[in-house]
């Protein structure tokens, strides 16, 4: 190898070594910077996540405050009492009779495993004119208080021109509530005279729940559908005693029976004598109405006559009582 070749080889070696040293030095210098950039990016992601959670927290806090302003109370007993009072007021305001409606309190329960809120409410059933029932549902739906209406069932009533309604009115009890929240009486946004109520007038005008009555054949005598007149002051028979309400008052069930002959309401409790038997209990199971496989009854009073159990469905007279088979008995009685 001559001198020129040695110089060329040395130059190439120096260049290769220089490049190798450059890349080694570059990697050793830039690696900490890349690691730091990764840490900065991770910290920014965590910071963005914390900011998003913070925004969500404040949004949820405002949501909870808004809901807390609409609850009846932060105590279960007070919330149940106030909601029951408002239900009664709206029933009367709708043009319905309080004695025609039963209100069964629903036991408090937690809507979710991770919440401190309690869900309470009322199971409501009653009869009335379709227009008045629509009034009640409208007022309840537009109530400013925190609530939900579920399991709504509308069916034809026992009296021509009336419908039977059954639903559950639910609300929440929040505890604790933000300290700045004060409970006040809330005013509804709409009334029965608001244009929003008139939207449902077509539903009332069509009377879609009126039972179908087949036209009689030509020349056939049409039997009168009106009951025989009841003489005021006469001793009431079973056909003039109608079960109009099955509810609870302070945890004790009550049976309200309307004496059509004397225009007064009688009250009975478990252990009292009624229809030749003893009042045993009030049953709130949804069962098919005897003689009508389409409609359901959601409450009845159970009587013990001798060794047998009989039931009178709400809205029926004592003359309509029917015997219960062992399979139809509630669990509390079937064990006896």
Q: What angle do CA 169, 175, 179 make, to 5 degrees?
A: 120
CA distances from 301 to 103, 320, 325 (A): 14, 12, 15
- Which of the listed ranges 4-13, 169-178, 211-220 does the model predict with the highest average pLDDT? 169-178
Assess whether pLDDT exceeds 50 at residue 226.
Answer: no
Q: What does DSSP say about strands 101-109 and 118-129: parallel, antiparallel, or unpaired?
A: antiparallel
Predicted pLDDT at 225: 39
> pLDDT band for position 48 (50/70/90)?
confident
Paired residues of 329 in beta bridges: none
Predicted pLDDT at 177: 78
CA distances from 111 to 64, 152, 170, 215 (A): 16, 20, 11, 51
Helical residues (DSSP H) of the chain, grouped into ranges: 3-68, 76-93, 130-141, 195-198, 201-206, 331-334
Neighbouring C-beta atoms of residue 92, cutoff 10 Å:
13
Assess whether pLDDT exceeds 70 at residue 308.
Answer: yes
Predicted pLDDT at 87: 93
Predicted pLDDT at 261: 82
- C-alpha span between 199 and 120 (Å, rounded): 31
- Which stretch of 95-104, 139-148, 226-235, 290-299 has the lowest confidence by average pLDDT? 226-235
Which one is predicted more confidently, 234 or 249?
Answer: 249
Predicted pLDDT at 211: 56
Q: Is the pTM of this model over 0.75?
A: no
Predicted pLDDT at 218: 67
Structure tokens at 323: 């015997």
- C-alpha span between 134 and 206 (Å, rounded): 13
* Bond from prior residue into 266 cis (ω within 30 degrees of 0): no
Predicted pLDDT at 210: 62
């Amino acid at each position: 190898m001559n001198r020129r070749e040695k110089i060329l080889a040395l130059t190439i070696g120096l260049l290769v070594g220089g490049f190798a040293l450059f890349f080694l030095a570059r990697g050793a210098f830039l690696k900490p910077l890349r690691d730091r950039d990764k840490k900065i990016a991770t910290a920014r992601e965590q910071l963005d996540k914390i900011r998003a959670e913070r925004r969500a927290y404040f949004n949820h806090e405002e949501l909870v405050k808004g809901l807390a302003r609409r609850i009846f109370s932060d105590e279960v007993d007070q919330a149940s009492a106030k909601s029951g009072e408002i239900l009664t007021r709206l029933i009367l305001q709708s043009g319905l009779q309080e004695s025609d409606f039963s209100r069964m309190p629903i036991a408090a329960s937690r809507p979710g495993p991770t919440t401190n809120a309690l869900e309470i409410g009322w199971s409501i059933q009653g009869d009335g004119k379709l227009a008045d029932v629509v009034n009640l549902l409208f007022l309840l739906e537009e109530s400013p208080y925190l609530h939900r209406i579920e399991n709504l069932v509308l069916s034809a009533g026992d009296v021509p021109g009336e419908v039977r309604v059954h639903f559950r009115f639910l609300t929440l009890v929040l505890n604790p509530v933000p300290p700045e929240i004060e409970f006040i009486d809330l005013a509804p946004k709409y009334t029965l005279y608001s244009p929003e109520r008139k939207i449902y007038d077509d539903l009332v005008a069509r009377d879609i729940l009126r039972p179908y009555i087949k036209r009689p054949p030509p020349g056939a005598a049409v039997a009168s559908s009106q009951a025989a007149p009841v003489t005021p002051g006469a001793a009431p028979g079973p056909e003039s005693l109608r079960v109009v309400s099955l509810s609870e008052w302070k945890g004790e069930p009550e049976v309200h029976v309307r004496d059509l002959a004397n225009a007064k309401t009688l009250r009975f409790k478990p252990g009292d004598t009624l229809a030749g038997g003893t009042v045993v209990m009030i049953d709130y199971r949804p069962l098919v109405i005897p003689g009508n496989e389409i409609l359901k009854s959601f409450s009845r009073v159970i009587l013990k006559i001798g060794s047998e159990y009989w039931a009178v469905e709400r809205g029926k007279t004592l003359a309509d009582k029917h015997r219960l088979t062992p399979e139809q008995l509630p669990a509390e009685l079937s064990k006896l």
